Each structure stands twice: as structure tokens, then as C-alpha cells.
Amino acid sequence: MSLLAAGVLSAAEVNVYSARQENLIKPILDQFSEQTGITVNLITGGADELITRMDLEGANSPADILLTVDVGRLHRAKEMGLLQSVDSDVLMSSIPEQYRDSDNQWFSVSLRSRVIVYDKDRVDPGELSTYEDLADPKWDGKICIRSSSNIYNQSLTASLVSHNGVEATEEWARGLVSNMARSPQGGDRDQIAAVAIGQCELAVVNTYYLAGMLNATSDDQLEQAQAVDVFWPNQDGRGAHINVSGAGVSEHAPNRAEAVQLLEFMVSDEAQTWYAEANNEYPIRTDVPVSATLESWGEFKADPLALEQLGIHNAEAVRLMDRADWR
């Protein structure tokens, strides 16, 4: 009997569909395997691609966990019936309420903020204040930002819809577009580089991209990152916009118990410390220290908005961005 049990244990596995780049998630999955003996089968791809794949696979999907880098995609997967509720004391006690789904179908495992970075030499940070202020004509021709197709910008806009309503947010988007120094292009690192070389004076980026550049082995990336500084928006009001990487258990997970075990591992001391130190993301748990780079930026007030609101307002956000000619 013991030999049979050992055989069953050794065969334990969990299948992860991940929208994170392999190098940003595989090390922690390897640690999970080493500690538990559970094999992790990792499939990576774009979030939309993986969600579509799960939908097409239906009840035959091998996916146990969907891991994405934005709450909007997790909400979409939930709305499509691709996730299931998980009752876990570990997850409930470790993850603040606003960072998990109200039906317990998805859970955040790390945090990032979408902030303003500015040219140290050309911008007085005293002139900066809020996301809303980016629509002010004083920033005409001075802002770089990614495309409206980027989920991070969609979620930022969705947060503004939640706080200010559709009409005010559309007016903001039109003002932002009119202040762009160039047509949206490239990723967040490209926006930082554009500020560094003088194409614009401000950019809107996720914190971990700048932190990664500050810790890069590339002299060019380091030099570009050192040319800018971080400004935390809306500190006199609701606080800076927050987004997450997060995960949920598939509706048809063939290895449900192992999937829940992996989710719980992701909020452990070891995993949360890895997210902080290796990825320069903010831990979901407040008792885990941030990296030295993030610590150097100081403490900030975070928007307490329940993150499921970003998914709820995503479609409205995309439509108004289109109407504002945000390409």
C-alpha cells in the first residue's frame, strides 16, 4: 500500500497556463516542485490566446491554473465561466479583500502601480499632481504612453471610469491624446527611453519596468532609467492606481487539489519574497519587505478600489478610448 501511495504522490502534477514570461514565473514554480514533489507543467502565451484556448478546450482542458498579469483578463475569464470558486483560509487571510474576486474565483499574488515618470532635468515634480492632470494643456506635446490596446492602460482608464464616470473619463482621454508627444508605440521600457532621449517629458509606466531597468546589466537601460524619477499620482486623494498579477483555478481543473496548493504557495513567505526581490513587484502581503529599489521610492498611498471594478469597466474604457482617438 505504501508503494502504491508513493507512486500516486510521485505522479502528482499541476498544469499552469501562464501569460507571464517564463523567466518571471518558472523559478518560483520550480521551488514549489522541489518542496512538494508536484510536477508543474507550464504553458506560456498571451492572456487572450490562453483564455480562448481554455474556452475552446472546454471540459477537456488540461489547464488547472490561469495566471495573468492584469485583473482585466482574470475578470474576463470569470465572466466566460472558465474559473471556479476556491475556499481557502490561507488565501483569505493573506490577500486583502480588494485584491481578490468577490466570488473567490481569482486571487492577486503580486502588486504593481501604474505611475508617472518624469525627466529629472526638465520637469518640476511640483507641477505634477494626478492622473486627471495629464489632460491639462500645460502638458501639450510632452507625454509618452502605450497604445489603448494595452491592458494596463485599459485598466487605468477603467479605474477612472469607476471613480469619475464615463463622460469625465472620455474628456480626460481626449485631453491626454492631445498632449501626446508622439503616436503610442512600444512597451513601457520604450516610454522610459523616450523620456530619457528627450522625445517627451512624462511617461506612464508600471513600476516593475522601471525597477527592472534600474537593475539591468545593460548600461543603456540603466542610463535611461536614471534619467527619470517616479511620481506617485493622486496622493492627496484616492491614491495611485494598482494592478496585479493573479491567478485562478480552472473550472474543469483535473488536478484541483494541487492547483489550490500552488495558489497557496504563491502567497507563502518564500514566494512573496521572490516576487519582491527577483521581479521588483510589491508583495501582496504587507508583512513581506519590498526590494531595495522599491523602498528607495518611498511609501505611497494606494487606491483602495476593489480591483474587480477594473474588469467590470473594461469594455466601457475601451470604447471611450476609441472615441477619444487613443490609438
Nearest to 15 by CA among 53, 70, 72, 69: 53
Pairing mode, strands 242-249 and 39-44: unpaired
123 alpha carbon, distance to own chain's centre: 27
> H/E element holding 157?
helix 151-164
The SS3 of residue 97 is: helix
pLDDT at res. 325: 98
Query: Which amino acid appears at position 235 of this protein?
Result: Q
pLDDT at res. 111: 96
C-beta separation of 218 from 177 below 8 A: no
pLDDT at res. 11: 67
Distances (CA, A) of 64 to 15, 40, 323: 5, 10, 38
**Sites in the chain below the pLDDT cut of 50:** 1-10
Distance CA 300, CA 194 (A): 26
Q: Which three cell numbers stand for residue 290?
A: 519590498
**Can you name the residues that pair with 248 across neighbouring β-strands?**
66
pLDDT at res. 42: 96
Distance CA 94, CA 234 (A): 27
pLDDT at res. 5: 44
Nearest to 57 by CA among 72, 71, 43, 75: 43
